[in-house]
């Protein structure tokens, strides 16, 4: 699974990292609550380091029908749950470094890097859901074929996850747009690939 640039939003990146890592760590037989990356009270100090390597083809890159881009890279860092102090539920926290090479069908290559911290700031359990406010902060950069930066996002976003306890279905809501410079990664990359925006 490509973890970086598909949506060029730190929240989306970290949401995928969170789900992917919990699935990997806990295994396929985990409960719906754990599969959904919902805080659990079992071990308030659980944490783990990881290195994930991937080599995938992402179809319809940046929403361009028929543009299939190969994504090769790594995601490494640590993640875990810790006591939040505001109630019985544990809070998720991670620090991840992502390094990807994006290869267009023409062979043109770009590079995406991100260093992101993602952490829950508020977690509450209702009768039917887990409600989680979180933030993701860090730096994301896209480099063109010549190695020079062509897009950056050094800001912080805040988002909300609502997870249905029965089905594990999630609703993602962006609470605050990036506080820093927010370049259009897709526009920059498509230009580097020689693809005209319609």
Per residue in 27-36, pLDDT (tens digit) is 322 222 333 3
Confidence band, pLDDT 50/70/90 cuts, at residue 86: low
Closest CA to 83 of 109, 120, 52, 137: 120
CB atoms within 10 A of CB 175: 12
The tens digit of pLDDT for each residue in 161-193 reads 999 989 989 999 999 988 878 899 999 999 999
H or E segment and range at residue 90:
strand 90-103
Separation in Å, CA 53 to CA 1, 46, 50 = 9, 23, 10
CB atoms within 10 A of CB 77: 20
CA geometry: angle 24, 159, 140, nearest 5 deg:
70
Burial label, 36 (beta-carbon count in 10 A; 0-12, 13-18, 19+)? buried
DSSP secondary structure code for residue 116 in this structure: E
Enumerate the domain spans of the chain.
10-193
**140 and 113 Cβ atoms separated by less than 8 Å:** yes
Closest CA to 155 of 4, 11, 3, 37: 11
């Amino acid at each position: 699974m490509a973890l970086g640039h598909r949506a060029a939003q730190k929240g989306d990146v970290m949401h995928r990292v969170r789900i992917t890592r919990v699935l990997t760590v806990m295994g396929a037989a985990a409960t719906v609550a754990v599969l959904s990356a919902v805080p659990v009270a079992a071990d308030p100090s659980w944490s783990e380091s990881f290195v994930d390597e991937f080599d995938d083809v992402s179809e319809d890159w940046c929403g361009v029908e028929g543009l299939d881009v190969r994504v090769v890279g790594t995601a490494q860092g640590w993640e875990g749950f810790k006591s939040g102090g505001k109630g019985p539920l544990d809070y998720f926290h991670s620090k991840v470094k992502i390094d990807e090479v994006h290869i267009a069908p023409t062979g043109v290559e770009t590079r995406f890097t991100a260093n992101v911290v993602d952490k829950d700031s508020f977690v509450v359990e209702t009768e039917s859901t887990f409600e989680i406010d979180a933030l993701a902060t860090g730096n994301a950069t896209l480099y063109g074929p010549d190695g020079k930066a062509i897009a950056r996002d050094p800001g912080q976003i805040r988002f909300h996850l609502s997870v249905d306890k029965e089905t594990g279905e999630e609703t993602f809501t962006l609470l605050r747009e990036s506080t820093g410079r927010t370049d259009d990664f897709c526009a920059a990359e498509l230009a580097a690939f020689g693809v005209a925006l319609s």
